Structure 1
Amino acid sequence: MTTVRDVCRHVRSKNAGPYWVTFDLFFDGAESFALYQDSPALGPQAFERLFGADPALVRRYPVPDLNVVKISYARTAPQGGMVERDMHCGQQFVRLLDVKLD
């Protein structure tokens, strides 16, 4: 089974304003990008399962020239709430690393 960590040289997550979180998946080359950019394993249902995101508010933006896929979703609560554990969402990417793409 191929995982995100197997085909991406870098994965990061961050805030995209106070209401959205975004992930950047930097694939290790054009071949991996072409194979996995549209993988259902990185679809809205995966973000619902992993992050509690509303599947209707998950957006995917492929950037073929850079072999990057940007995936964003609306936060369930605005940034900075009382129980915020990762204010800048810099650690959220970890849950994606072991997602099976095949």
Structure 2
Amino acid sequence: MAALGELAQLIRSKNAGPWTLTVDIMFPDAQTFEHVVASGAVTPAAVGPLLGVDPGLIEMFNYAPANAIKFSFPRQYPNGHPEDTDAFGGQQFAPLVDLEIPSPNAEPQQTAAAGALR
């Protein structure tokens, strides 16, 4: 396994208006992009808990021509609100850096209790 931060060329977050944040994950080549997308590790269900966002509110787009994954979601507080701790939205990507991406040829793991594939 490798961390997303090791595979991506760039991971950034920023404001997309006063009510929305956006995250861009850009990869150095098509092979790495395709591997990460195929792994199923970067999905709304996976990133929502890391970012403290309901996965149902995350809009995600895989954009192959740019070897990029982009997603947007509502901010907890609007930009400039007294409780907003990140006025530019530039720190929100941090929990994604350590997201584990399975190796391309990794075997599915079995749970000891049920023997089920996960």
* Normalised TM-score (structure 2): 0.78
Is the 1:21–1:72 Cα contact (8 Å) retained in structure 2?
A: yes
8 Å Cα contact 2:60-2:72 kept in structure 1 = yes
Structure 1 ranges of 4+ moved more than 3 A: none
By relative contact order (CA 8 Å, sep 6+), the higher-ranking structure is 1
Larger Rg: 2
**Deviations for 1:20-52, whole angstroms, at most 9, x for unmatched residues?**
111111112100111112543322223331222
- Pairwise CA RMSD: 1.5
Alpha-carbon shift at residue 87 of structure 1 (Å): 0.6
Shift of 1:65: 0.9
> Are 1:73 and 2:73 counterparts?
yes
- 2:23 maps to what in 1? 23
What is the correspondence of 1:1-102 to structure 2 with a 5 Å cutoff?
A: 1-102=1-102
Aligned pair in 2 of structure 1 residues 86, 74: CA closer, same or farther (>3 Å)?
Answer: same
Where is the helix percentage greater, Structure 1 or Structure 2?
1
Q: Which runs of 5+ in 1 are unaligned?
A: none
Matched positions, count: 102
Give the unaligned 5+ runs of structure 2: 103-118
